[in-house]
Amino acid sequence: VDVLSVANDSIVFKLSNCDVSIANALRRILISEVPTIAIDFVEVMENSSVLHDGFLAHRLGLVPLLSDQADEFKYARDCNCDDPPCQACGVRLTLDVECSEAGVVEVTCGDLLSAYEVVRPVSQASHDAVHAVEGEVESRGILLCKLVKGQKLKLECVAKKGIGKEHAKWSPVSCATFKYDPIVELNHERLAELTLDERQSIAKSCPTEVFDIEDGKLMVQDVARCMLCNECTRTAAQITAASAGGGGGGGGSRAPLVRIAKDERQFTFTVETVGSLAPKDVVHKALQVLVGKVKHLLQELPTVEIN
């Protein structure tokens, strides 16, 4: 694994020397099997807003919570506490907001108070040096609802550990994709037979500007930009066909001017997170889950009976 770039909420990395099945397994784990903490139970004491209780509960469940310490918690199903949730399997959060004056009060996730400081809405982490963004306008967080004079919202939540396979609110990523690394090969011997205008037409046919003309020669400028659309190969084929039709000797049996292929052993991943975990942590935990699955498979294989 080679990390290409990292931002506050995204990471791009290259996965090499593996099959597409491994790459897809990692993608699925990133989405659905990395544990995080999310609100799973909401008890509404008072709600005179225009939004009904179920609507608010759904919005609260989708608020990302910092989950750096998720591994310290037990899954609620594995905890034997008498009065769930206990400190080992859950975190209590409270919200109590009232609008007593004329105007509108915005209730946001910043109004959620956590009993365990490490687990709190992501927006509140902007005060931490680790999560701070230079020049960022301070925000009170995700809007939950609005109150006018005389309205009040009071509730208590319980956040639990879970994975995206159970519900999307536990998924640490909003997007996890991969693509094959492209292979771009130029037949310089045949390209030398073309006119400058023909070489330029091939370069301009690429929508992502993979090619460039240097000293009259067609060169690959940035192979990573290639999205395997094959526009360049179609343009090159048209030039070859026109040359053959005009008696230029461009026979179909000769090697193509441009060859585009995909490297089936190298993949570039793009992962965007929701903020509950740092991008590098999400990838690291996903790889740990994948390795754990492989180890379990190797342990169980000797016990499998093949008829």
Write the pLDDT tens digit of every residue in 92-147: 999 999 999 999 999 999 999 998 888 999 875 444 434 444 444 456 789 999 99
Q: Which residue has the tokens 């441009």?
A: 258
- Residue 139: per-residue pLDDT: 65
Residue type, 254: R
Query: How buried is 99 (Cβ within 10 angstroms: 0-12 exposed, 13-18 middle, 19+ buried)?
Result: buried
- Residue 125: per-residue pLDDT: 47
- Residue 137: per-residue pLDDT: 46
pTM of the predicted model as reported, rounded to 2 decimal places: 0.83
Question: What does the pLDDT look like over 186-210, one tens digit per residue?
Answer: 999 989 888 899 999 999 999 999 9
Residue ranges of the chain with per-residue pLDDT less than 70? 84, 124-139, 245-253, 307
CA angle 224, 228, 234 (to 5 degrees): 125
- Residue 129: per-residue pLDDT: 39
DSSP symbols for the chain: -EEEEE-SSEEEEEEESS-HHHHHHHHHHHHHTS-EEEEEEEEEEEE-SSS-HHHHHHHHHTS-B--TTGGGSPPGGG---SSSS-TTTEEEEEEEEE--SSSEEEEEGGG-EESSTTS-BGGGGGGSTTT--TTPPP---SEEEEEETT-EEEEEEEEEEE-TTT-GGG-SEEEEEEEEEEEEEE-HHHHTTS-HHHHHHHHHH-TT--EEEETTEEEES-GGG--S--HHHHHHHHHHHHHHHTTS---TTSPPSEEEEEEEEEEEEEEEE-SSS-HHHHHHHHHHHHHHHHHHHHHHGGG----
- Residue 162: per-residue pLDDT: 94
